[in-house]
Structure 1
Amino acid sequence: MLYGIAAATAALFLSAVLTALVRAPALRLGLLDRRRQRPLPLGGGAAVVLVTGLVAAAGDWTGLAPLGTGVPRLLVAGAAVAALGLVADVRRVKARFLLGGTAVAAASAVPYGETGPLGGLAAVCWIVAVTLGFRALDHADALAGTVAVVTAFGIGACAAAEVMDGLAVLLSVLAAALTGFLMHNWHPARVGLGACGSLFAGFTLASAAVLTRTGYEGGASAGVLFALTAVASADVVLVVLARRLGGRPLLRGGPDHLAHRLRRLGLTPQGATVVLGAGAFGGVLVGVLVHLGWIAATGVLWVGAGALAAVLLLLKAKRPRPRRTASVQVRAQLRVRNG
């Protein structure tokens, strides 16, 4: 317990300092988020990954907080996904390579002895979906980090209830490292998370959730896992529906994510992050309470209904029409007058 508090405190401090230090080198090297209109240096994700791995490994090496069965393999697979994301931050990587690499890493982290072949396959698919969902959440300042912190605390509580102390410490360290990063990522962000950090956070959280639910009935587990990651799942569903209905390619980026649409409804960037963070907290709370057996398993249906309602309502938030310049407007008026 005391080591967990000390480890989280150290991770928060180290992540805050390291994130501040990587900003200048990222600017000099041109390591920028290509999805943003303003130049946003990346490197914050690498700081989160490095701090999380070092602090967790130190606890395991000293014996103060052994990671336990399966957790070291999870951490190594997460580091591999982070390395793939770092490559994507440096140069363009096709989405299918990110998908394939994440699937391979997920396949190495799933405990097939407890899940069985079919359950293991379902777990791999779910881990990949959540990992890419967190990558998609990194479209607004502080959004992915905020949702990941909330989710880490929830899954950590589930792990502690299962007496998986090493996994609980890892998740608390990850949450603390992300909090240190968020000191520099709140709007207007000075450093970005990037594919490296968002893929690592999503993969670690999804894999940890699978480990905590191993041994439980499949249907109930699916509901809890969805509740724990409701915001990331809703964002994926919203984007897929919007692009299908609009006849646009699924893998082509665009301003049709949750935060984008909330902004169109009048929310500020900070307001959109707070609203989605509160939504993530609500889903995580229900998932934890169901996992602990304090409320009925049907509680996750309310989370699903809320997520579906939000998706359908936000689908109506259309893209704003581009404003015509003054010269274009003058030419249009002249054409009308000249008939």
Structure 2
Amino acid sequence: MTVALAGGAACALSMTAIVPLRRLALRWDLTDRPGGHKAHTRPTPYLGGIAVAIGTVVPTATALGFADLRITTILLAATAVSILGLIDDIAPLPAITRLAVEAVTATGVVLSGVQVTVTGGWPDGPLTVMWIVVMTNSFNLLDNMDGALGTVTAVTAGILSATAFMCAQPALGLLLCTLACAGLGFLPHNWAPARIFMGDSGSLFIGFTLTCSAVLLITGKSPDTAIAGLLLPTFVATVDTSVVFLSRILAGRSPLQGGADHVSHRLRQIGLGTRTIAVTLGTIAAITGALCLAMAVRWISPLITTIVAGATAVILISLLQGLSVYSPARHPSALPKIRERRL
């Protein structure tokens, strides 16, 4: 019953908090303005992520209190990262500043006992911090089209929540349940055509919380289970970031520069609509999440899961590279009109 109440509260809080936040963003001119390759025709507020953070933190903290050190640390660190994103939404920060703050918060989570066990030695700590920082920003980059990140969040957090409960981690299951429900509450406002965007405050919060939760699920597990448990819940974001960084390097562009060259943009090139793309990404997240759940309950081998997931990621990255967005023959006006993302 506690889980149901927390999930309902998370959805309601997220859905209702959007209204005052949207008005506040419009009043303070905290908007994403049309231009370049952007599809929206009028300034769109981008404080929606705060509603997701509130919808996740408040019910979870109310239900659990401070009984679980690791969950408490994840919540506090994710809130700090969300505030960092809010500051970046208002006045863009240097990438090095953002990365430094994220590394500090990730270190705090690792020190609380959330850590991968790939090598079995001291390198696991730095590896965990690096993975959390990289994937936090990967989810941030995934927020580049209406409904995309919201859909992936709801699906991924929902399945991870079920996995946590089946692995006897109820506190983590409740946290992920509230995140999934908060994502669902936000999604109607962000479904194409979006009336509000998530902003860095939301995308960084989601990326940090999902990544730390995935790490906590495989803490103390064998290396093959750990690798699969890290890759599967972040599969969509991992493929997207890999495609973007590889294509930019091959094209001689800075990997940290914003651009309309993500997986969603490439799917748009082959004729998929915005809503269809969001559903497609959500479906992929559901499949990989289901594999993670099946692995956790020992229905499938972790080693085979790792090999299949890794091979599939490589194949997808290779195929998506073929959908070039850097052809000099194409005039910028011919490119799909969609939002850009920067690190």
Instruction: Give yes or no for contact 2:9–2:55 (8 Å, CA) kept in 1.
Output: no
Matched, 1:24 2:23: yes
Q: Select the residue among 259, 268, 280 that pairs with 1:263.
A: 268
Q: What does residue 318 of structure 2 align with?
A: 312
TM superposition shift of 1:99: 1.4
CA distance in 2, matches of 1:169, 1:16: 19
Instruction: Give yes or no for contact 2:157–2:176 (8 Å, CA) kept in 1.
Output: yes
Give ranges in structure 1 of 5+ residues lacking alignment. 326-339
Q: Relative contact order (alpha carbons < 8 A, sep ≥ 6): 1 or 2 greater?
A: 2
Give ranges in structure 2 of 5+ residues lacking alignment. 335-343
The total of aligned residue pairs comes to 320
Q: How far does the alpha carbon of each residue in 1:208-243 deviate from its partner, in whole angstroms, 9 at most, with x for none? A: 111111110123211221011100000110011100
Partner SS for 2:63: helix
Within-5 A mapping of 1:292-311:
292-297=297-302, 298-311=304-317
Q: How far does the alpha carbon of each residue in 1:54-104 deviate from its partner, in whole angstroms, 9 at most, with x for none? A: 11111124xxxx652311011100000001000111111122222111111
TM superposition shift of 1:35: 8.6
Q: What does residue 98 of structure 1 align with?
A: 98
Instruction: Give yes or no for contact 1:71–1:166 (8 Å, CA) kept in 2.
Output: yes
Residues 170 and 112 of structure 1, relative CA distance in 2, 3 Å threshold: closer
Residues 322 and 295 of structure 1, relative CA distance in 2, 3 Å threshold: same
Q: Select the residue among 324, 331, 336 that pairs with 1:322.
A: 331
Instruction: Give yes or no for contact 2:163–2:296 (8 Å, CA) kept in 1.
Output: yes
Matched, 1:243 2:265: no
CA distance in 2, matches of 1:238, 1:41: 28
TM superposition shift of 1:23: 1.1
Within-5 A mapping of 1:28-47:
28-33=27-32, 37=38, 38=40, 39-47=43-51
- Bigger radius of gyration among the two: 1
Instruction: Give yes or no for contact 1:70–1:111 (8 Å, CA) kept in 2.
Output: no
Within-5 A mapping of 1:1-339:
2-33=1-32, 37=38, 38=40, 39-61=43-65, 68-111=68-111, 117-297=122-302, 298-319=304-325, 321-322=330-331
TM superposition shift of 1:308: 1.8
Normalising by structure 2, report the TM-score: 0.89
Instruction: Give yes or no for contact 1:99–1:128 (8 Å, CA) kept in 2.
Output: yes
The residue type paired with residue 168 of structure 2 is V
Q: Report sequence identity in percent.
A: 37
Which has the larger displacement, 135-144 or 19-28?
19-28
The residue type paired with residue 14 of structure 2 is S
Instruction: Give yes or no for contact 1:238–1:258 (8 Å, CA) kept in 2.
Output: yes
CA RMSD of aligned residues (A): 1.9
The residue type paired with residue 312 of structure 1 is S
The residue type paired with residue 83 of structure 1 is I
Q: How far does the alpha carbon of each residue in 1:162-201 deviate from its partner, in whole angstroms, 9 at most, with x for none? A: 3221111111011101110001000111011110001001
Which has the larger displacement, 226-235 or 118-127?
118-127
CA distance in 2, matches of 1:16, 1:124: 32
